[in-house]
Amino acid sequence: MSTSKQNIISPAAPTTNRNLRSNSKSSVNSISTNDLMSTLQSFRTEFLESTKSQSKVQISQFNELKSDIQKLSSLTAELKAENTQLKDEINILKNKVEILESTESVVHSNSSLSQMLQEVSERELCAHNALVYGLSESSSTSAPQRISDDKIALEKTLGQYSSIIPKSTMKLVRLGKVRQDHIRPLKIIFQSKDEPINFIRGFTDAKLGGAMFPTNFRIVRDKTVYERGLLRSCHSELDRRAESGEVGLRIRYVNGVPKIIQDNSKNRVPGSGSNHQPQP
């Protein structure tokens, strides 16, 4: 009887064990799925929060970049405006400079033309004159008497060469103020241009022919203010070069301009280092 009961009960044991194992396995599967879902949910939440945070940072950076670009655009526009203004001012200054240069050129040209015309006019007047240096001066207080005395003194000084004096009417004028220690040059104004040329040439030929005249007595052509300035410059240079030891120098006119030349003439007086007497 007991044996029969055991046989009846014992087959039920395996079924119970299987159920227990099945429940345990189901419980394990259920826990694993929940953990996975929880983990995924947590990851999703963290990812969304991180993405949202990064998005906010990027939006902030984008806004800053946009603001900087707007500032740069504004500065660029200002620089363009200033550059345009500077170009306009430079063009205005260029125009002013061109006007000034043009005006200066015109003024200089007009001034040069005026000086040239004045020089031509003065030379035309001087062409009728001759200057006599070293001729004793009359002490008379009467102007007509002084003129008469000057004519007589000129004839006496020239002596046998007085025939070189033109016979036509001429005007005699002493230049400068009267001074006791100074003999003023005598200016002779002739009626034609040929008369002073012949008068000066006759005097020069007489000197070259051996005629003896008082010291410092000479006859030269009249000169303009400009020509006298050139001659003074030549004399200054001649003195400077003579003091430096140069010898045999003299002033000679070349194409109407006074020049300092080396005098290699055999007729030059020995010991005379320079000749200050300008050539007519």
Pair of tokens at residue 199: 């008068």
- Token output for 87: 């170009």
Token representation of residue 205:
């030929």
- Angstrom distances, CA of residue 144 to CA of 51, 149, 152: 126, 9, 13
Which DSSP letter does residue 76 get?
Answer: H
Dihedrals phi, psi of 141, to nearest 5 degrees: -90, -10
3-state SS assignment for residue 210: coil
Please state whether the predicted TM-score (pTM) of the whole model is above 0.85. no
DSSP code, position 172 = E
Q: What letter does residue 138 receive in the DSSP assignment?
A: P
How many CB atoms are closer than 10 A to CB 150? 20
Evaluate the CA torsion angle 269, 271, 273, 277 in order and state its sign.
negative
Angle at 71 between CA 65 and CA 72, to 5 degrees: 90
Q: What is the pLDDT of residue 17?
A: 53
pLDDT in the model for residue 179: 86
Residue 199 contacts by C-beta under 8 Å, 6 or more apart in sequence?
A: 130, 164, 165, 166, 188, 190, 219
- Give average pLDDT by consecutive 10-residue segment, the chain, 280 residues: 45 51 53 78 85 85 88 89 89 78 63 85 94 93 93 95 90 91 94 95 95 94 91 93 92 86 62 43
Structure tokens at 252: 């000679």
